[in-house]
Amino acid sequence: MRTIYLFDVDGTLTPPKQKAVEIFRLQFFEWTKDKEVYLVSGGSFKRLTEQLSPAVMDRIEGVFACMGNVYYRRKKGEPRAWFHEYEHKFRPNKGLIADLTKEVEKSAYPTKTGAHYDNRTGMINFSIVGTKATQDQRREYAAYDAEHKEREAIVARLSEKHASCDFVIGGAVSIDIFTKGRDKSQVIREHFKDLPQDAIIHFVGDRTEYPGNDFAIAEAVRNRGNGHVHSVESWKDTAELLKSI
């Protein structure tokens, strides 16, 4: 029987936006042997390779980058070689960009480092603290957001105004924005639609609750027979989980 394993990366296999911790990287490398493993991330292929190492990537069957809007399939028997299979673009309208700029201006948070939105394939990654923030500045914003729930309020405001888009809280400081449905759930709905009914799917992620960026795929996996969702808080939980799945 076929069993496939899907992993979120930031907060699940690595600390957010950082390299995998060496001891876990080795454990994960060993664990993936003879398993069918895919990555499903908001990050780019290049960043994921930097986080996990080329050796780990050689154990991965396919990489759904940018929330599943870009797919890379590994070439069999050829290390470090991948097919770039497809990509879905997202062109935000001017109103949305103007509203993101307004959110940055009106936020009471004092540290704004610039470059507040990053237009990636199929999505925009938006943050009040900005993409130039240092790790310390990111941590400070994450603590502020945990207390003030700023990202939840922004998501609520923008969702109401821009009904054709989805807004989800991703990573430690940002919000991911994309065309409705073009989130991680498209991996199950489209890519794995012909998977045999008895095939088992495991999904492991750290943001499986609404409005987290793993919520949609977690729902899609749960709604399928033989789907298992594992919610973790960090790579340490994942390290424990790998001993039993």
Q: Which residues are catalytic?
A: 8, 10
206 binds Mg ion (CB under 5 A): yes
Please, what is the end-to-end C-alpha distance for the chain in angstroms? 15
Residue among 112 and 215 whose Cβ is closer to Mg ion: 215
**Element housing 167 (H / E):** strand 165-170
- Applying CB under 5 A, the span of 1-9, 72-80, 109-117, 220-228 interacting with Mg ion comes to 1-9
Nearest residue to Mg ion, by Cβ distance, number only: 11
Q: Three-state SS for 158?
A: helix
176 binds Mg ion (CB under 5 A): no
Instruction: Give yes or no for residue 11 binding Mg ion (CB under 5 A).
Output: yes
Q: Does 183 bind Mg ion (CB under 5 A)?
A: no
Site stretch for Mg ion (CB under 5 A), options 3-11, 27-35, 180-188, 233-241? 3-11
Tokens of 43: 């990050």
| Token duo for residue 230 | 């594992």
Task: Considering only residues 101 through 140, tell me which ones interact with Mg ion, judged by CB under 5 A.
Answer: none
Closer CB to Mg ion, 32 or 238, in the complex: 238
- The letter for the amino acid at 42 is G
The stretch near Mg ion (CB under 5 A) out of 8-16, 85-93, 118-126, 184-192 is 8-16
Which residues are bridge partners to 174 per DSSP?
Answer: 127, 170
3-state helix, strand, coil in the chain (%, to 5): 35, 25, 40
